[in-house]
Amino acid sequence: MDDVARRHRRRGRTLLVGALLIAVVAGGVGGVVGTYLERNGGVGAIELPQTSDGVTGRAPDSVAGIAASALPSVVTLHVSGDSAQGTGTGFVLDERGHILTNNHVVDPAGADGDISVTFSGGETAKATIVGRDTGYDLAVVKVSGVSGLKPLPLGNSEEVRVGDPVVAIGAPFDLANTVTSGIISAKERPITAGGESGNVSDVSYVDALQTDAPINPGNSGGPLLDGKARVIGINSAIRSAGSGSESDGGQAGSIGLGFAIPINQGKRVAEELINTGKATHPVIGVTLDMDYSGDGARIGDGGDGGGSGVTSGGPADRAGMRSGDVITEVDGRRVHSGDELIVKVRAHRPGDRLELTLLRDGRERTVTLTLGSSGGD
């Protein structure tokens, strides 16, 4: 083969090898570009799809609607005194600046402490105590120089039914404007709280509404609202795992057992605190044997000197009740202890008539009396 032929064959092989190299490089580049495009969906910045129905309003009876209506009327209270401080919640009662909350919320202020009120929009104002009552665990404070106050409408706690939806608003762990929801789990739960220092006069007695709406420390004094954004209760206590009922000022959290003072009771007490600075307590005029371990509430004696546990001339005396009588029912509802009897009596007003069922010498009898009145703390 001559030299010319050999040169043509070598040139052909060189061109073939070159074509293969170009194909390999092109394939590699194509793979990289393809991978990039597959991962990023094309060339340019990424914009994720988003949907919207364009509706910004909410139904008035939805949780969001209730919250929007009520939040401007709910406040957070920061209270400080010489040896204690705390956070709680309250709500506006009228345009004059009266705010209802729990007594244990304002208690750290003592006689000369400081109470600061923060509204949902962030505005703050100083508050002074108008009146407080340990037996009902309620207090009214007042702010001055604040315009545009929006009172929360008050509902009727007697009309509440188990299973009704409710909304709670407060400042759990100082997280203001927190909204939770649930239902009324039960009514007329006899709850006692306070008295940690051993002072019986500091114990509050509540015939409470029970709710599973989450309530935590800081919710105290806040409103429990019905489906029309009306206050039906004042959130006041929780039961925590491994503990008894207590005001929610402790550090335990919600396990779905919260308790609220019915607003019908709260309204009466608030009116008395605003008008007179103190609340009256209904009484039947007896001294109870709080160490009695049987079923019911036993009327004790008059103390170390003996005598009667029935106040002379009082409602129980006029109804013919005696020391040793065991009260088992109030208006047809069972009571199992002295605490429960006090709770049931405190749920009424002075002047109300009560029917009491009692045991005397093994025989059951029924008496009717009109509740008397004692001054508040």
Residues marked active site are found at 104, 137, 220
Secondary structure of 48-67 as H, E, C letters: CCCCCCCCCCCCCCCHHHHH
Helix or strand (DSSP H, E) at 211: strand 204-211
What distance in Å separates the CA atoms of residue 319 and residue 52, rounded to the nearest whole number?
Answer: 69
Contact 48/40 with Cβ under 8 angstroms?
Answer: no
Alpha helices in the chain, H assignment, sequence order: 3-40, 63-70, 103-106, 263-276, 315-318, 338-346
Would you call 298 exposed, middle or buried from its count of C-beta atoms within 10 A (0-12, 13-18, 19+)? Answer: buried
Which of 136, 129, 138, 137 minimizes the C-alpha distance to 111?
129
Closest by CA to 273, choosing from 93, 98, 89, 130, is 130
36: tokens are: 């990039």
Q: Which residues, at least 6 apart from 363, have a Cβ–Cβ distance to it below 8 Å?
A: none
Amino acid letter for position 292: Y
> Cα–Cα distance between 266 and 136 in angstroms, integer?
8
How many CB atoms are located within 10 Å of the residue 138 CB?
30
Which residues make Cβ contacts (< 8 Å) with residue 155, sequence separation at least 6?
226, 228, 230, 231, 232, 263
User: Which pair of tokens denotes residue 79?
Assistant: 């209270």
Residue 162 near residue 187, CB atoms below 8 Å: yes
